[in-house]
């Protein structure tokens, strides 16, 4: 990527064409990072609708949360979820084709999700929190198995 940027300089069209050619040759799929999230989106929206409208979940308790269909009264789960998502980003090695502007946007995603989850039902936030924790554990396992070490993800500054 750095060599392509140096070669093409400010010519973004030539850089993008060369990058697409390189992705095609190496078999890199730019949708690979988005595809798992796209698979989860219907579950996310279905849970939101179910928790928002289900009368059965009214006053269902979980730990300190007295009503899973209402927002977290102390905002603990949204803050924890944003923190775990940030940690997950630090553990995940950056994609080789990601430009700096995209990296900056990705740094704000945990914050955006945390702010979004402040007003959603607590049950949905608990689901997203558990999902993020499982993803962090899975990433740590993969880093150990592949020998990528967690310091590699932290050293990139991403």
> What is the tens place of the pLDDT at every residue in 1-53?
778 777 877 888 888 888 888 877 877 766 666 677 778 888 878 877 877 77
Pair 22, 77 in one domain:
no
My answer on whether 23 and 69 are in the same domain is no
- In the chain, the number of structural domains is 2
Statement to judge: residues 46 and 5 lie in one domain: no
Whether residue 73 is found in the same domain as residue 106:
yes
For 97, the 3-state DSSP assignment is coil
One domain, residues 17 and 74: no
Q: Which long-range contacts (CB under 8 A, 24 or more apart) does 58-61 make?
A: 60/123
- Range of the structural domain that residue 7 is part of: 1-30
Count other Cβ atoms within 10 Å, centred on residue 111.
Answer: 12
Q: What is the rounded distance in angstroms from the CA atom of residue 28 to the CA atom of residue 42?
A: 26
Burial of 31 (0-12, 13-18, 19+ CB in 10 A): exposed
CA 83 remoteness from chain centre:
11
* Backbone angles phi and psi of 36, in degrees to 5: -60, -35
**Could you tell me if 52 and 118 lie in one domain?**
yes
Residues 142 and 77 in one domain: yes
pLDDT digits (tens, 9 = 90+) for 93-134: 666 666 677 777 788 889 998 998 999 888 888 988 998 999
- Say whether both 79 and 129 belong to one domain: yes
Secondary-structure breakdown of the chain: helix, strand, coil percentages, each rounded to the nearest 5: 70, 0, 30
pLDDT band for position 147 (cuts 50, 70, 90): confident
39 and 23, same structural domain? no
Residues 23 and 77 in one domain: no
Q: Is pLDDT above 80 for 144? A: yes
The DSSP output letter for 93 is P
Please check whether residues 88 and 20 belong to one and the same domain. no
Q: Is 40 in the same domain as 113?
A: yes
């Amino acid at each position: 990527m750095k060599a392509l940027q140096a070669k093409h300089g400010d010519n973004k069209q030539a850089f993008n064409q060369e990058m697409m050619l390189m992705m095609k040759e190496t078999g890199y799929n730019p949708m690979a990072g988005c595809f798992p999230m796209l698979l989860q989106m219907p579950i996310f929206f279905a849970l939101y609708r179910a928790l928002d409208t289900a009368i059965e979940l009214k006053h269902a308790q979980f730990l300190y949360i007295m009503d899973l269909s209402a927002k977290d009264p102390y905002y603990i789960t949204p803050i924890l979820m944003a923190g775990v998502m940030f940690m997950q980003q630090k553990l995940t090695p950056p994609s080789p084709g990601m430009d700096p502007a995209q990296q900056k946007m990705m740094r704000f995603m945990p914050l955006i999700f945390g702010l979004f989850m402040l007003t959603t039902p607590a049950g949905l936030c608990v689901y997203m929190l558990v999902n993020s924790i499982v993803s962090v554990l899975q990433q740590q396992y993969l880093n150990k198995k592949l020998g990528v070490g967690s310091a590699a993800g932290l050293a990139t500054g991403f």
